[in-house]
Amino acid sequence: MTVRPITIYGEPVLHRVTADVTVFDDELQTLIDDMFETQKAAHGVGLAATQVGVGLRLFTYEYENEDGVPPRGVIINPRLRLGKVSQMLPDPDEESEGCLSVPGGSYPLKRAEWVSLTGLDREGNPLEFEATGWFARVLQHETDHLDGRLYVDRLEPRYKKRAFKFMKNRGWLTPGHTWMPGVDEDPFGH
C-alpha cells in the first residue's frame, strides 16, 4: 500500500464528474488499498478517488456510526437519495466541515440529516443502506466529490467568501497543488 498525494482545490480532477467504475481488477484493488492508507495517514474520515487524482466514482470511509453499517468501507458508484435539508443557517459550532482538499479550512454547512445510499462494494456486490447524522454528512461530502463539487462550493455566501479568500491567499485556485500526508505538516493539527 502506498500513501498518495492529496489534490487541493483548483486541481481539475476535483471539479469534474467522475466515471463509473466498470472493471473490478487488481488495479482497482490497489487504488482502494492506497486510498485507505492515504486516508489513515491524513486522519480523514473519508477520501474520494478524485482527491488522489483519479477520476473514478468511488470513495473510502472510516466512521463509527449508529446505523448498523460497518465502520470502515469503500463505496463504488454510489447514488444518494437525500432527506430534507433545513433552510436555517448552519450552526458554526455543530455543523462545520473540513476537507482534505481544502487543508486547514473549516466552514459551517447545512446537510441532510438522513440519506439512503446504493452502490457496490470492492468486489462489485450491491450495497444499500441508510445513514443518519454525521455519517450521513460524510457520505454526502464524499459523493459531492464524485460529482465534481467540494463542500466550499455549497457554502452560504458569507462563508463561501471566507473560504475562497483562505484558498486564494494560499494560491490554491489554480492547478498543481497537493500535500503529502505523513510528510507535510498536518493541516488539521492531528
Q: Residues comprising the binding site for Fe cation?
A: 99, 141, 145
Distance CA 75, CA 115 (A): 14
Distance CA 124, CA 170 (A): 40
Residue 16 and residue 148 in contact, taking contact as beta carbons nearer than 8 Å? yes
- The cell for 101 is 482538499
Distance CA 101, CA 15 (A): 11
Binding residues: 99, 141, 145
CA atoms within 13 A on the CB side of 24: 10
- Quote the Cα angle for 153-158-159, to 5°: 50
Distance CA 76, CA 27 (A): 14
Enumerate the active-site residues.
142
Backbone angles phi, psi at 131, to 5 degrees: -140, 150
Q: For residue 96, count other CB atoms closer than 10 A to its CB.
A: 15
Backbone angles phi, psi at 30, to 5 degrees: -65, -45
